[in-house]
Amino acid sequence: MAPAQAHGTPAVPESGITPVAVRSGIAVEINGERFVHTGDPQMPLLWYLRDVLWLTGTKYGGEHGENGADLVLVDGKPVSAIGQPMNRLADKRITTVEGLAANDGTLHPLQQAFIDEDAIGCGYCTPGWLIAGVALLKRKPHPDDSDIDQLPNSCRCGVQTRVRAAIKRAAAGKAGPA
């Protein structure tokens, strides 16, 4: 039974539900939405995205993120999500592969260029290539081959030549269905 209502307080129907105190946590903005992480502050962003939010576009590649499959943009810069504990990300703006397209579904020019060049092998590390490529195009809208050479990603399917073509296609503004 609920305790008797204090005098002057509106009566609350009995529900048996005890309100939980608002928990404090780490506020982050992911793909334009606000989230508050209330778990272990040491948890890497990768597992927060994949396990908690079920945003699984960002992939696990390795303990140190060396193959680039787990790249995300933090305040516009490409970083490995597994190397970013949540407590370093308070109030940061994070973009994952799911957030590259516009809200109406219009693809980022590089996403469209990947489709046009069929720059896809097994596709597992494609999100990482996209994040690295989007960051490069933002930094340098017309990258040359030596800029593209600096991408940190690796891939056994051998998409490198097609990714190079896709980045150049996007840079030239040619992206779009043929």
Please report whether residue 55 would count as binding another protein according to CB under 8 A: yes
CB-hemisphere CA count at 13 Å for 75?
Answer: 6
Interface residue with another protein among 26, 30, 37, 59 (CB under 8 A) is 59
CB of 101 to another protein, least distance (A): 6
CA distance 121 to 103: 27
Which one of residues 33, 51, 75, 91 is an interface residue with another protein (CB under 8 A)? 51
- For residues 44 and 85, is the Cβ–Cβ distance under 8 A? yes
Q: Are 163 and 133 in contact (CB under 8 A)?
A: yes
Considering beta carbons, is residue 67 or 135 the nearer one to another protein? 67
Binding residue (CB under 8 A) for another protein from 25, 29, 53, 107: 107
Question: Phi and psi for 85 in degrees, rounded to 5?
Answer: -65, 150
Q: Is 174 in the site for another protein (CB under 8 A)?
A: no
148 sits near another protein (criterion: CB under 8 A): yes
